Amino acid sequence: MRLRSGRRQKADDRPEEDNRPAADNRPEVPAATPGLAVALRDVRRAYGRGARTVHALAGVGLALPLDTFTAVMGPPGSGRSTFLHSAAGLDRPSAGSVCLGGTETTGMNPPTRTDR
């Protein structure tokens, strides 16, 4: 799975300044921060048990600021849907935490989690 992120353009079609850090110098994903649309910290999702366990997500960490867009790309079976369901609060991760708009959603029950 690969993520491609960018900034929205202003109304006059000039791109906003890109202040993202270099890929090899990324900061650690912060805890619930109001300036972030979504933040995932060490998110893991496993299906099945024992020898048949499938690890769809293995330690995903990501922070997406407000007013940006991100494309999620990857081949079939790479975990795109599982990632998006976990990030949106539709599915509870096996481990890790998810924050939407600065609110920790991981411990919420399903109706509360999806009402956000």
Look at the pTM and tell me if it is higher than 0.75.
no
Q: Is residue 60 classed exposed, middle or buried when 0-12, 13-18 and 19+ CB atoms within 10 A define those classes?
A: buried
The domain limits of the chain are 28-114
Which residues does 73 contact at the CB level (< 8 Å), separation at least 6? 1, 2, 3, 4, 80
**Looking at domain 28-114, what is its CATH homologous superfamily?**
P-loop containing nucleotide triphosphate hydrolases (3.40.50.300)
pLDDT, one tens digit per residue, over 30-55 is 555 568 999 999 999 999 999 999 99
Residue in this structure with the two tokens 């481990």, named with its chain if needed: 95
pLDDT, one tens digit per residue, over 58-73 is 999 999 999 888 899 9
Q: Is residue 10 classed exposed, middle or buried when 0-12, 13-18 and 19+ CB atoms within 10 A define those classes?
A: exposed
